[in-house]
Amino acid sequence: QVQLAESGGGLVQAGGSLRLSCAASGRIFNVNFMGWYRQAPGKQRELVGTITGGGTVTYADSAKGRFTISRDNARDTVYLQMNSLKPEDTAVYFCNGYIKDLSGSSRAYWGQGTQVTVSS
């Protein structure tokens, strides 16, 4: 079995910061491409940013200059550091990862999501 689990969400004032974590666990051979997404109430899920196995990062326009994605391959964990948070950042944040398990099977996995609420 392979699982992804997000953590670190919560309530923060506008201008504050949060760091989200996404940890992969189970019978993992390797974790390759990973991404962060978010979904606000009544809206479609949107991409926040991605990171490759080699550490190359891309961001949506809304995240550039404020959010930073990184990964710790030794711990099978990816992070989303969010600074200068705005009320419009309020959403459930999801992690997605392309993972090969020990049987040699590769596919995308989703975490359960973590709520981020930014107050004025």
Residue type, 107: R
Instruction: Walk across the sheet containing 18-26 and list its strands.
Output: 2-7, 18-26, 77-82, 67-72
30-82 per-position pLDDT tens digit = 888 899 999 999 999 999 999 998 899 999 999 999 999 999 988 889 999 99
d(CA 104, CA 27): 10
Closest to 22 measured CA to CA, from 118, 109, 117, 119:
109
Of the two residues 95 and 33, the one the predictor is more confident about is: 95
Q: pLDDT value at position 73?
A: 84
Q: What single string gives the DSSP state of each residue in 22-54? A: EEEEESEEEEEEEEEEEE-TTS--EEEEEE-TT
- Residue 109 pLDDT class (50, 70, 90 cuts): very high
